Amino acid sequence: MKLTYKNDHELEGELIGVRRNLHREPELSYEEFRTTEKLRAWLTNAHIHILDLPLATGLIAEIGQGDGPIVAIRCDIDALPIEEQTGLPYASEIPGKMHACGHDFHTAVILGAALLLKAREHELPGRVRILFQPAEETGHGAESVLASGGLSDVNAIFGLHNSPELPTGTFGTRSGPLTAGVDRFEIKVKGVGAHAATPEKGVDTIVTAAQMITMLQTVVSRQSSAIEPVVLSVTRINGGFTWNVIPELVELEGTVRTYNEEIRREIPLQMTRIIEGIASAAGAEAKLLWYPGPPATVNHGEWADFTKQVASNAGYKVEDIPLQMGGEDFALYLQQIPGAFVNIGAGPGYALHHPQFDVDEAAILPAAKYFAALAEQALKKLQA
């Protein structure tokens, strides 16, 4: 597929083609080799310079010249381990893998913005970095991008996510916190296995784990302020192998979502006290394994307001959206670079990560035009 930009109608058709091409061949986090090859070919065909960086998957391109300011626009390129159930003619051809979060939509949008910016390259008062990020779904893809040095001299950065909750033509963001900090945990409960008919001869890990699940909810309801958003969800229980044996080991897994960093640091300590206390009372042992993910995404107020003004000028219906408990590793960029993360309406439809998820492709071209305008106007703002 060779991409050209002659008029809006042709560009829209090509960007929809890009989105469907990627949708057919989804790749999971850190496996986006074919996707990266496609992007490299499309960008090269458009004579867009690609930076030489130590990235195994994903890439950063650059448009513009000179010593002026540098703005980055970012999309994510990885898919999810979900079996698609849409029945679309361009549905995933890879069993058990699907673009169920719309990263194919994001990629088409930012690629379209790159083509539009390339057409105005000599008028840009600086440079635009086009970031196609791998492994967002792991919560750690941004780390590899930052480590590559590809954003070390960027003055402002912007990213997007499609929203099935917002109708097409609607734009949403907010100043300050937008998405939550995301952490994963595992709890291993070890007791003494026994026949179900003689539980007194063992230490019951099932009962002990059940008490832990119940008591862990007090971290939110009784140990955190009622005005601070906190979610603690146990999402997996694994224990036992037959109906008449009390197992020696039970494993729990789940996630914690927070906005307040002080509360975020305190929660694993609170959880440890609970699980160790319950385990001790039961004569069992318990261990908490904590896996930190990305922090809360905190938009810089000046740039969030700027994105809304550009969106309004572009014809979007602009909304201040509520806090979201989902996570986003774009947060790591905003810890180092001023900028903002925004939502582009592409619904209504099934929720993100649903096997029947799809986006309204009519939202692709307007979003591409928006991000091209946002990048150019941000350069002018920085230059001024």
Both tokens assigned to 303? 């740039």
353 annotated ligand binder? yes
For 27-63, the pLDDT digits (tens) are 999 999 999 999 999 999 999 999 999 999 999 999 9
Q: What is the pLDDT of residue 5?
A: 64
- Shared domain for 278 and 173, answered yes or no, is no
101 annotated ligand binder? yes
State the average pLDDT over residues 358-372: 98
Q: Angle at Cα 269 formed by Cα 265 and Cα 271, nearest 5°?
A: 115
- Shared domain for 85 and 232, answered yes or no, is no
How far CA 366 is from CA of 11, 279, 283, in Å, comes to 11, 56, 62
- Look at the chain and report how many structural domains it folds into: 2
- Shared domain for 188 and 301, answered yes or no, is no
For 212-237, the pLDDT digits (tens) are 999 999 999 988 888 899 999 999 99
- Output the average pLDDT for the chain: 96
Q: How far is CA 167 from the centre of its chain?
A: 20
Neighbours of 293 (CB within 10 A): 18
103 annotated ligand binder? yes
Give percent of the chain with pLDDT exceeding 90.
95
- Shared domain for 35 and 142, answered yes or no, is yes
Q: What is the pLDDT of residue 121?
A: 96
State the average pLDDT over residues 301-309: 98
- Shared domain for 32 and 135, answered yes or no, is yes
Contacts of 364 (CB under 8 A, 6+ apart): 12, 15, 16, 19, 105, 108, 109, 112
Which of 253, 268, 292 terminates a domain? The answer is 292
Q: Which amino acid is located at 279 in the chain?
A: A
CA distance 316 to 336: 29
- Shared domain for 115 and 102, answered yes or no, is yes
CA distance 276 to 254: 17
For 183-213, the pLDDT digits (tens) are 999 999 999 999 999 999 999 999 999 999 9
CA distance 197 to 372: 69
Report whether pLDDT(366) > 90: yes
CA distance 314 to 240: 57
Report whether pLDDT(1) > 80: no
State the average pLDDT over residues 274-303: 97
Cβ burial, residue 340 (10 Å; 0-12/13-18/19+):
buried
Confirm whether 1 is domain-assigned: no
Q: Which amino acid is located at 282 in the chain?
A: A
- Shared domain for 39 and 119, answered yes or no, is yes
Asked if residues 213 and 252 have their Cβ atoms less than 8 Å apart, the reply is: yes
For 96-142, the pLDDT digits (tens) are 999 999 999 999 999 999 999 999 999 999 999 999 999 999 999 99
Q: What is the pLDDT of residue 50?
A: 98
Q: What is the pLDDT of residue 65?
A: 87
- Shared domain for 267 and 329, answered yes or no, is no
Question: Angle formed by the axes of helices 103-119 and 33-45, to 10°?
Answer: 20
- Shared domain for 133 and 221, answered yes or no, is no
Contacts of 147 (CB under 8 A, 6+ apart): none
Both tokens assigned to 93? 């051809």
Domain range for 114? 8-177+296-383
